[in-house]
Amino acid sequence: MPIPDTLTSAAGSCGHTTHEHTDTSAMAEQAEGDVGSWGVEQVARWLEAEGFPDYVPLLCDQHRLDGPSLLSLREDDLRTPPLQMTVLGDIKRLMLAMTRLQCRHPLTVHELGLTHHIEHDMQGTKYSAVQCNGRHESHVSEGTAYSRLQPSFQRSSEQWHPFANGKWRNTRLDPEYWKTALSAVYAMFVCGVTAFVMVIVHERVPDMRTYPPLPDIFLDSVPRIPWAFAMAEVCGLTLGIMFILVLLLHKHRSILFRRFFSLTGTVFLLRCVTMLITSLSVPGTHLQCSEKMYLDTWGKIERALTIWFGLGMTLTGVHTCGDYMFSGHTVVLTMLNFFITEYTPRGWYFVHTVSWVLNLFGIFFILAGHEHYSIDVFVAFYLTTRLFLYYHTLANTRAFHRSRRARVWFPLFSFFECNVEGYVPNSYSWPFPRPHLLKIIIG
């Protein structure tokens, strides 16, 4: 994959290289070879060539700075102990000199694993015209992405993709199939728990003769459409087919699958809690809830398995009451919609429009069928969208990835995303071996 030869750092630009600085330092670097192999003596000569002879005793004699440690030096290191430089002009000029050094040796920076280290210094910084190796590359400001970067070399083992705030970083996207399988087991387990909880709340649903349907603005204003709920499930099945196609064709399908399972499982686990806490009365008198059978444990497990294998859908013959807060159908519709729109290119307007129409019409049909209260649908849509956005914001910005707070409050996120280095690009590949398909077609 191509790797951009523009590597920005804490100084705010890759040096603004001009003709006045293609002299002593550039010739010295060429003479000394790769910066990664520099010793203390070469760093001392580089400091003298850049005009910092006064800092040779501090950086080289006292702290033994070599080539790799020079490339990893940050402005915070210069300002704080043990270096504790106090002259602001010297700090800034030295950082600019090191930025130019990084631009002239991008392969060394990459091989030493310093790209993330360099990005850390770019947090919250605004950048103007960037120029590395004497070439104007792009104009970057906070919150924008690089435009029209020209790669100067290639490495086949890594991919480079745009990161947040216009930064580029090495993105390692290990599929980690075992984690994907584990996330599938997690989602299936949560679905089983949800089915069992649905059996419990079905037997706890309030008697309709004692507790009539609660007042609801939408349900009281819109007459019930008998076939509407079935149409909502048809919308969900259509979105499911679209999502499966996206999964099959997406190059990083394993990561998408893992995120879908972890997010969906977590939302339905929250749904189990809300269903158990409070039992709402049925939203419509048309609902014919079966009598409370008070089954034994094995009978409840059998009923839960029936709901589980039927995916909780009325199209498969599953009919339950009491599982109102919040709407599981709305969760599935919204989650599928957000994954389709997130992991397809921005230019696929038709796909995005169809996805949103199916999502919104599915929600309307749920309410039009009087199968849920309006609050059930609202809470489901809000929780699903917030969790999706929070998860992807943390994943794309690498926020809290290795912090103790993330491991405590977001254990699944920390586990599943610890090795996903940044933004997942929307690139596609054919999932089947093409030569075999060509032989079948030709034959």
Which residues are designated catalytic? 329, 372, 376
Where b means 16+ CB within 10 Å and e means fewer, 270-304 reads bbbebbeeebbbbbeeeeebeeeeeeeeeebeebb
Pairwise CA distance, residues 332 & 262, whole Å: 13
CA distances from 179 to 332, 394, 425, 441 (A): 22, 19, 20, 36
Q: What is the DSSP letter of 381?
A: H
Which structure tokens are listed for 101? 């050094």
Q: How many CB atoms lie within 10 A of CB 357?
A: 12
Q: Are 232 and 369 in contact (CB under 8 A)?
A: yes
Contact 165, 127 (CB under 8 A): no
Phi first, then psi: what are they for 136, rounded to 5°?
Answer: -75, 125
H-helix or E-strand containing 348? none
Q: Half-sphere exposure (CA, 13 Å, Cβ side) for 25? A: 26
* Whether 398 contacts 115, CB under 8 Å: no
Q: Tokens representing 441? A: 């077609």
d(CA 379, CA 361) in angstroms, rounded, equals 17
Return the biggest CA–CA distance within the chain.
92
| Contacts within 8 Å (CB) and 24+ apart, 356-360 | 358/235, 358/238, 358/239, 358/333, 359/235, 359/239, 359/333, 359/334
CA gap 377, 362 in Å, rounded: 11
Angle at CA 103, nearest 5°, toward 102 and 107? 75
> Rg (Cα) of the chain, in Å, rounded?
29
Q: What is the DSSP-derived secondary structure letter of residue 147?
A: -
Q: Quick check: helix, strand or coil at residue 178?
A: helix
